[in-house]
Structures are given as structure tokens and as C-alpha cells.
Amino acid sequence: MRYDREAMELQAAMQTAARMCAAARTAPKGHGKDTLHTYVLTGDDKEALARRMEEVGLREMGDEMPTWYGRDAACVRKSLAVVLIGADRKQRGVPHCGYCGHGGCDGCRKAGGNCAFAYVDLGIAVSSAVNIASADMVDCRIMYSIGKTVAEMDFDPDVVWLGIPLSISGKNIFFDRGIFHK
């Protein structure tokens, strides 16, 4: 059987995505509580994400949408897969913490705040995941714009998200994107 470049690159991207999800899952977590969520999007789900990113970008940025959300949506379309990693916003119950700025979990809950460890856990998980992509020589970028968009889609509620599109190509699609922030 003969496998062409596209088939092998998609297979490699999916293997990397699976390893990235495993790395995120096994990453250290605040107070030892596993609050992580992972998904991998391809095909129609990836295109739905890109379309929704453009909608969110228009709402948030108006005419400036192409400089960020539009650019990132184009990268999502060019990517082979998108890895989503999220962490629950709920309080972890870490005693004597107060990192959230509300004095502790009760204060955070009453203020409608998010647990600081959600962001710590997410950062460690995403760092672990992109380390896998790097080791596999797969191009990627961590995108807030994906995370903000996914938070508005039909995924787990009350989760803070980041997205990581994956690309295997002769030139890194995330490097010369042609549009820059002001």
C-alpha cells in the first residue's frame, strides 16, 4: 500500500494531538484536583470553529477583526487539527491561598471570581502539550482567540480554554501571517 504525504502528515498530526492531550492530562495540578478538559477538532468541526472565530472577532473588534481573529481563523483553516485544552474555573479549595484576590475560596465564590489555579493548571497543561508538539517537530501556536471562541460554543461550561492549531508543512504557517497588531 502507498501512503501519500497528506495522509502521513494527517496521521502524524493526530498522533501528536493524542500525545499532547495525554501530556496535558498528566501535567501537575493545583491542590491535586484534575479539572482539565481536552478535545481535538478536525474537518467540519475545525471549520465551524474558524467561522465562529470570525463572528466573535467582528463583535469584539469590528473592522479590526482581520488583524487578530481573522488571521487566527485563517491559521485554523490551514491547520491539520486543533487541540483544545481547558481548566474548570471553579475554586480548588486550597487552604490559605487568596491568589484570586478575594481572600480565599468563599470570597472568590461570592465575588463571582475564577480560581487562580485554573489559570496555573491551564498554563502548565498547555506548556506540557506544546512541548510534545515541539518534540514531534510539529508547528503550533497557543491561541487565546480560539479559547475565547470555544467558551461561547457547545463545549463544557465554566471552563477557561486555550487552543493549539497543528501544522505540518514545508513552511511554518504561523510565521509570516502578513497581518500584525497595532
- CA nearest neighbour of 34 among 122, 101, 148: 122
Buried b (16+ CB within 10 A) or exposed e, 130-169: bebbeebebbbbbbebbbbbbbeeeeeeebbbbbbbbbbe
pLDDT band at 49 (very low <50, low <70, confident <90, very high): very high
Model-level pTM? 0.92
Q: Which domains does the chain have, with CATH numbers?
A: 5-167 (3.40.109.10)
pLDDT, tens digit, for every residue of 112-124?
999 999 999 999 9
Q: Are 49 and 153 in contact (CB under 8 A)?
A: yes
Q: Residue 126's pLDDT is what?
A: 98
- Asked if residue 66 has pLDDT above 70, the reply is yes
**pLDDT of the residue at 106:** 92
